[in-house]
Structure 1
Amino acid sequence: MEYPVTRMRRLRQSEAMRSLVRETRLEPSALIQPLFICPGENVRREIGSMPGVFNLSIDEALKEAESAKKLGLGGLLLFGLPAEKDEQASGAWAEDGIVQQSLRELKKAAKGLLLIADVCLCEYTSHGHCGVVKKTRDSYEIENDKSVSLISKTAVSLAAAGADIVAPSDMMDGRVAAIRDELDEEGYENTPIMSYAAKFASAFYGPFREAADSAPQFGDRRSYQMDGANLREAMREIEMDISEGADMVLMKPAMPYLDVVRAARERFDVPIGAYQVSGEYSMMQAAFAKGWLEPERAMLESLVSIRRAGAGFIVTYFAQQAARVL
């Protein structure tokens, strides 16, 4: 009987052997944990559609930051739930805004932990859109340039409060250039911009909108978030944001768009990350609750797939859980 000369299984015989030849490695420092900050004290309110994820008051967020630092996570991505909302999203750029307050406290309590501030208006507008709305009797329009003005103002406010990185997620045209100009003018030329350069209009955002109380009160976001069918357009968006001054880019969602991550990694030389969004997390949690998937293996497999596609870092609600396993 003839046997194969090459036996691929030789390098799979033990965990030590598999670890030695593993091509894609997952480390806690590549994981970023999102936090949803809300007013009050001693608030740890679980989000119904996202088991294990909470709306946190600042004092509770400090506990999460301490845990994240001990686990060696790459950083925190901060979202705010303001006490009040209005059409101009004034809570987004207010000096005493909820994220601005949390940045100051986290900066003191969790030195060395990277703090990334999401820059968008949807959590702060009374209508839930990511920009300024111009309404007519029969329709509405998201006014790009007026929105960019408020978004860049928000970015400066967050940098002033202590954000290590500002991360515009609105998908308005020209916002990266406007943010870079405003940051530089105000003396924050060393604050990096992590642009959500390819953010697709996705069904997988549903649980997040519960968590951040940011669902649009009318219409949808398809006029500014990307059409999921368009890969070449995603490359144009990324190229434009880099040319405007983005220091790193983020793909969102991750799982349905791994081809976009791969294409971006092959084409661009800046750091690239992906956001494993709420719907990806929640559907796995639902399967775990039913006993349909093995939690630890499924979680790590999903994260490795994102790394393998080319993401250097991953925003994920599994960050602390995965770090403990790793």
Structure 2
Amino acid sequence: MTPVIRPRRLRSTPAMRRLTAETRLHPAELILPMFVREGLAAPREISSMPGVQQHTIDSLVRAAAEAAEAGIGGVMLFGVPAARDARGSAADDPDGILNAATRALAREVGDALVVQTDLCLDEFTDHGHCGVLAEAPDGGSPEVDNDATLDRYCAMALAQAEAGSALLGLSGMMDGQVAAVRSALDGAGFERTAILAYAAKYASAFYGPFREAVDSQLVGDRRGYQQDPANRREGLREAALDLDEGADIVMVKPAMSYLDVLADVAAMSPVPVWAYQVSGEVAMIEAAAANGWIDRRRVIEETVTGIRRAGADAVLSYFAVELAGWLK
């Protein structure tokens, strides 16, 4: 029998496929993570992330201007200080590398891009954890003190908002962090500063290259506060808590291994949902492409499309500027 229903009709030509595509990419939906390191005389390549650099403030501003020209939506800034201590003192230093770089970006590209800053202590502590440590009740290894860490996050939030950050990326996975930071911001007159909650952030092995990018001093692991990769419902619970506490945007991280969680959160969230294509995902694409095993451009486009298809309203990706150029 001759088929009557032929789905292939809508795949027959490039024009037809373009017309009937269910998911589209646009440069404005892309955010570029960027690294600025104190003490550099020139940008430094990150060996595990081809094409990604640790910047000086000057080179950071130039790269952000290029990102604005490409039409992407924003940049997410991570700072790497020259000196670290147990409480991450450089994190809320107004003249520290992150806050100084934020002022420079806000001044130069703040009208063209949403300047965003990572609000976490891991880059700034000499132990590499996302908060301050306290002795464990059972006498074991020190653990991250949730509530003492919230005090540090509030201090960071005020410093970043004062420096000109339009959106604070709360990535530490401390209980109550959104409510604490929102209260601190509002109390200091920063009601317009938005909060991006890394609501479902998993203790993932895909963060490896990022550790090089920020020269992480991590001792141990973060499984005591980041989510277990085995848990799906827990991602929804975390997102719901952050929404109740006043998050303006919620995030799922990593992206590609957690598309089910992303779809769950997108289905219930009344606010925008973002996802982060993390360093390990990028490193794998670059390594496979360098060996000739995959078509690099097609894989980049396919992976970001898949993240958007699963429900992300915007995607943080190290490919953001390059992809935006292709889309144009």
Q: Look up the SS of the partner of 1:51 in the other structure.
A: coil
The residue aligned with 1:126 is: 126
Kept in 2: contact 1:168–1:196 (CA 8 A): yes
Deviations 1:55-95 (A, max 9, x none): 00010001111111011001000000011111110111110
Cα deviation, residue 228, structure 1: 0.9
| Distance in 2 separating the partners of 1:128 and 1:135 | 16
Kept in 2: contact 1:42–1:60 (CA 8 A): no
Alignment of 1:147-158 (within 5 A): 147-158=149-160
Kept in 2: contact 1:118–1:166 (CA 8 A): yes
Alignment of 1:1-326 (within 5 A): 2-40=1-39, 42-110=41-109, 111-135=111-135, 138-216=140-218, 218-326=219-327
Kept in 2: contact 1:89–1:126 (CA 8 A): yes
Which portions of structure 1, spanning 4 or more consecutive aligned residues, are displaced by more than 6 angstroms? none
| Distance in 1 separating the partners of 2:5 and 2:103 | 59
Equivalent pairs counted in the alignment come to 324
Cα deviation, residue 42, structure 1: 4.7
Kept in 2: contact 1:42–1:59 (CA 8 A): no
Kept in 1: contact 2:126–2:217 (CA 8 A): no
Query: 1:168 is aligned with what amino acid?
Result: L
Runs of 5+ consecutive residues of structure 1 not aligned to the other structure: none
Q: CA separation of 1:59/1:13 partners in 2, compared to 1, >3 Å: closer, same or farther?
A: same
| Distance in 2 separating the partners of 1:10 and 1:255 | 30
How big is the alpha-carbon RMSD for the aligned residues of Structure 1 and Structure 2? Answer: 1.1
| Distance in 2 separating the partners of 1:43 and 1:313 | 31
Q: CA separation of 1:198/1:124 partners in 2, compared to 1, >3 Å: closer, same or farther?
A: same
Cα deviation, residue 43, structure 1: 1.8
| Distance in 1 separating the partners of 2:161 and 2:107 | 15
Cα deviation, residue 135, structure 1: 3.7
Cα deviation, residue 233, structure 1: 1.1
Superposition TM-score, scaled by structure 2 size: 0.97
Deviations 1:234-278 (A, max 9, x none): 111111111111111011000000000000111121100000000
Q: Look up the SS of the partner of 2:275 in the other structure.
A: strand
| Distance in 2 separating the partners of 1:249 and 1:179 | 15
Kept in 2: contact 1:200–1:226 (CA 8 A): yes
Runs of 5+ consecutive residues of structure 2 not aligned to the other structure: none
Cα deviation, residue 231, structure 1: 1.1
Kept in 1: contact 2:39–2:82 (CA 8 A): no
Q: Look up the SS of the partner of 1:220 in the other structure.
A: coil
Identity %: 48
Superposition TM-score, scaled by structure 1 size: 0.97
Q: Look up the SS of the partner of 1:230 in the other structure.
A: coil
Kept in 1: contact 2:178–2:246 (CA 8 A): yes
